[in-house]
Amino acid sequence: MNEQTAPSVPEETVPFQQWPKVELHRHLEGSVRFETAWQWARKNPALAHLEQEKLRRLIEFDGVRDFAHFLGRFRVLRQLYTAPDAVRQVAREAVEDAALENIRYLELRFSPDHFASHAGFDMEDVASWILEAARAAAHDHGVEVRFLLTIARNYDFQTASRILSIALRFRDLGIVGLDLAGNELMYPAEPFVELFVRAREEGLGITVHAGEAGTAAHVWEAIDRLGAHRIGHGIRSADDPKLLEELRRRNISLEVCLTSNVQTGVVPSLAEHPLPRLLEARVPVVLCSDDPRVSRITLTDEWYNALQLGLSVEALTHLTMQAVEHTFLPADEKRGLRQRLAAEIASLIPGRPS
């Protein structure tokens, strides 16, 4: 597809809800419908006393724009999983929600420990429940889904090593990558270098949350020490011209999540988001939703937010096709996905070359 020759489309007429999309940075932990959270909270004595609005304030964005406060939502969310059916339901519904906004390809990331720890489930069992439920929902709703397993920076090495082992064991069920997440201000990445080097050698895709609340130095560490193919957020890269050049040279994409960056307080407002600067520097970027149910947004909403930052429909279409190139799919599967998306986009914009 040639962005330069694409016809002009009035932004206000574009039904982005129906537009085909690719999502590469979505946490299952942050994709829990409030109604489902309420259902399972009532079955946990530690949460059952909460009124609905109190629970909502504890697990959804409550107006406080602070990075550590935002991450605190997940300490409450992990208490929901008192039965295997809760884990399966959340996985199934996350894929259903993706289908509702026409996400054609989804890389859904999760930490088995998040879903296992409260009830003492085995992490391998949890991974199998999630993979089974999500794959079944993907089949039913026509969404292509792959999975990334997440290691949090505060995990001990034994837990992190076990998660990598699970990722390698379940590769035939769609696990394609490994993710490092959590508070980069408090926990260094260095203890996990060995695991991520091994994961890359084994052929897994590597993505690392870095340069979100931290600095460009964390992004350098992610690409030089952990071998990241993609960077979760990475917006502080805009502060370092040499880093921008290196990301462009190595074709390492940034998984940019506009609303999340505002809600965590790492950017003051949407208008001040560095996305336009990143694009001007020709760094590969993919638009993502991060934790859609915590943030109370969708990937579709992020497309409209990008319009507010000056991106055109053509630019958004280009980012969608660029996202295909940065999936953790094999080359032949990328080719097929690219062709399907190009054909669908061409049907939405008459005259667009495919």
pLDDT of residue 352: 54
- pLDDT tens-digit map of 247-267: 999 999 999 999 999 999 999
Q: Give DSSP secondary structure letters for 102-130.
A: TEEEEEEEE-HHHHHTTTT--HHHHHHHH
- Whether the predicted pLDDT of 170 surpasses 70: yes
- Whether the predicted pLDDT of 190 surpasses 60: yes
Domain annotation covers residue 344? yes
Domain annotation covers residue 3? no
List, in sequence order, every residue forming a beta bridge with 206; answer none if it has no partner.
178
- Whether the predicted pLDDT of 242 surpasses 70: yes
pLDDT > 90: percent of the chain: 92
- pLDDT tens-digit map of 30-83: 999 999 999 999 999 999 999 999 999 999 999 999 999 999 999 999 999 999
Q: How confident is the model at residue 348 (pLDDT cuts 50, 70, 90)?
A: confident
Active site residues: 212
pLDDT of residue 147: 99
Distance of CA 68 to the CA centre of its chain: 18
- pLDDT tens-digit map of 196-240: 999 999 999 999 999 999 999 999 999 999 999 999 999 999 999
Q: Are 103 and 299 in contact (CB under 8 A)?
A: yes
- Whether the predicted pLDDT of 19 surpasses 80: yes
Q: Are 235 and 281 in contact (CB under 8 A)?
A: no
Give the chain's length. Answer: 354
- pLDDT tens-digit map of 292-321: 999 999 999 999 999 999 999 999 999 999
Q: What is the dihedral of CA 263, 247, 322, 338, to 10 degrees?
A: -130
**Range 267-274, long-range pairs (CB < 8 A, 24+ positions):** 267/235, 270/305, 270/308, 270/309, 271/308, 271/309, 273/235, 273/309, 274/235, 274/238
- Whether the predicted pLDDT of 9 surpasses 80: no
Domain annotation covers residue 25? yes
Least confident of 107-121, 232-246, 271-285, 338-352: 338-352
Nearest CA to 260 among 284, 294, 236?
Answer: 294
- Whether the predicted pLDDT of 5 surpasses 70: no
Side-chain half-sphere exposure of 351, counting CA atoms within 13 A: 6
pLDDT of residue 2: 32
What per-residue string of b and e applies to 221-253 under the rule 16 or more CB within 10 Å gives b? bbbeebbbbbbbbbbbbbebeebbebbeeeebb
3-class secondary structure, 23: strand
Position 336: which residue type?
G
Range of the domain at 125: 9-348
Q: How far, in Å, CA of 270 to CA of 77, rounded?
A: 27
Q: How confident is the model at residue 6 (pLDDT cuts 50, 70, 90)?
A: very low
Q: How far, in Å, CA of 303 to CA of 296, rounded?
A: 15
- pLDDT tens-digit map of 147-166: 999 999 999 999 999 999 99
- Whether the predicted pLDDT of 138 surpasses 70: yes
Domain annotation covers residue 317? yes
**Range 62-68, long-range pairs (CB < 8 A, 24+ positions):** 65/262, 65/263, 65/264, 65/265, 66/264, 66/265, 67/183, 67/185, 67/212, 67/213, 67/264, 67/265, 67/266, 68/183
pLDDT of residue 7: 32
Domain annotation covers residue 289? yes
Side-chain half-sphere exposure of 178, counting CA atoms within 13 A: 32
Nearest CA to 26 among 138, 113, 141, 103?
Answer: 103
- Whether the predicted pLDDT of 8 surpasses 50: no
Q: How confident is the model at residue 349 (pLDDT cuts 50, 70, 90)?
A: confident
- The most distant pair of C-alpha atoms in the chain lies apart, rounded to whole Å, by 60
Q: Which two tokens stand for residue 235?
A: 């917006």
pLDDT of residue 350: 59
- Whether the predicted pLDDT of 97 surpasses 50: yes
Domain annotation covers residue 36? yes
Q: Give DSSP secondary structure letters for 235-298.
A: GGGGG-HHHHHHHHHHTPEEEE-HHHHHHTTSSS-GGG-SHHHHHHTT--EEE--BSHHHHT--
Q: What is the dihedral of CA 40, 45, 49, 55, to 10 degrees?
A: -40
Question: How many domains is the chain built from?
Answer: 1
- Whether the predicted pLDDT of 351 surpasses 80: no
For the domain that residue 129 is a member of, what is the CATH number? 3.20.20.140
Domain annotation covers residue 262? yes
Kindly list the distances between the CA atom of residue 76 and the CA atoms of 116, 181, 261, 341, in Å, as whole numbers in the listed order: 14, 17, 21, 38
Domain annotation covers residue 4? no
Q: Give DSSP secondary structure letters for 205-248.
A: EEEEEESSSS-HHHHHHHHHTS--SEEEE-GGGGG-HHHHHHHH
pLDDT > 70: percent of the chain: 95
List, in sequence order, every residue forming a beta bridge with 178; answer none if it has no partner.
149, 206
